[in-house]
């Protein structure tokens, strides 16, 4: 029983180290999502499905990203909506819209068929996470060092870590 529980931890640890190795030596100014996803895919191997998770607010701004269409082709994407947030797709190309799989409001028995489609990199819309938390809001609170409000959005140890290492400090 222990091997079953421990094995995924080693796989995750190896995957994390592979990703670290893939991006080692990359200068901050050279970082872009396309490059990072390509290096991660190389490090993990072609047989590994790579998923990029973003919030609906990032999806709304995807066309402002450097090489955004290549980013969307470099891996599968999961776009997570917050409660009462409508996702728009008019800002992306028809090719991108054709790769969207909307999983919201589907019954359990319908999900399997929608997930089996193994065409090129897919973009999955989901509302499975129903916490009204925005990465943008987390960054704003972290930049202002507002620990009390930040701890309402993330676990207190995570808030402490973010503030200790100034992860979102404004430059």
By C-alpha distance, which of 145, 139, 138, 137 is closest to 163? 145
Residues 142 and 123 in one domain: no
SS3 123: strand
> Does this model's pTM top 0.85?
no
d(CA 165, CA 28): 17
Tell me the per-residue pLDDT of 31-61, one tens digit each, with 9 for 90 and over: 577 777 777 777 777 777 888 888 888 899 9
Looking at the structure, tell me whether residues 115 and 151 fall in a common domain. Answer: no
The answer on 84 and 17 residing in a single domain is: yes
- Per-residue pLDDT of 121-149, as tens digits, reads 889 898 876 566 777 888 888 888 888 99
| pLDDT at residue 11 greater than cutoff 50 | no
Instruction: Please give the residue range of the domain that contains residue 49.
Output: 2-22+31-132
What is the model's pLDDT at position 7? 38
Question: Do residues 161 and 93 share a domain?
Answer: no
Number of domains in the chain: 2
| Cβ-based neighbours of 97, under 8 Å, separated by 6 or more | 89
Structure tokens at 17: 């180290």
141 and 121 together in one domain: no
pLDDT computed for residue 91 by the predictor: 96
């Amino acid at each position: 029983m222990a091997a079953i529980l421990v094995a995924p931890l080693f796989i995750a640890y190896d995957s994390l180290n592979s990703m670290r190795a893939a991006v080692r030596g990359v200068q901050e100014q050279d970082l872009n999502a396309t490059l990072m996803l390509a290096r991660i895919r190389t490090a993990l191997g072609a047989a590994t499905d790579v998923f990029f998770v973003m919030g609906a607010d990032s999806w709304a701004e995807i066309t402002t990203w450097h090489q955004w269409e290549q980013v969307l082709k470099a891996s599968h994407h999961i776009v997570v909506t917050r409660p009462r947030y409508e996702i728009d797709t008019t800002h992306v190309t028809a090719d991108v819209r054709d790769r969207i799989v909307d999983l919201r409001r589907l019954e359990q028995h319908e999900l399997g068929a929608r997930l089996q489609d193994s065409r090129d990199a897919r973009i999955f819309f989901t509302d499975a996470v129903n916490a009204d938390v925005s990465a943008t809001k987390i960054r704003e609170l972290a930049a202002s060092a507002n620990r009390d409000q930040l701890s309402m959005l993330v676990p207190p140890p995570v808030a402490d870590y973010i503030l200790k290492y100034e992860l979102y400090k404004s430059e």
